[in-house]
Amino acid sequence: MPKAQDYYASYGIAADFDQVVHTGVLVLSPSHHRYLLARLYPFLLFE
């Protein structure tokens, strides 16, 4: 099983630690996700 250092080394990053961090990314586009964004937007207003 690959180690965390192997994961980072494959991208040219020196690693002297033993864990991998995955932050996750969500990419949305108004042209493709307009309906979803329009439905969620009212819930994102913090008044």
Whole-angstrom Cα distance, residue 5 to residue 9?
6
Joined together, the tokens standing for residue 42 give 């009212």
pLDDT value of position 46: 64
Read off the pTM: 0.36
Residue 8 near residue 20 (C-beta atoms within 8 A): yes
pLDDT in tens, the chain (47 residues): 777 788 788 888 887 777 777 788 888 888 898 888 888 888 776 65
pLDDT value of position 47: 56
SS3 9: helix
Nearest to 3 by CA among 12, 24, 17: 17
Whole-angstrom Cα distance, residue 10 to residue 41?
39
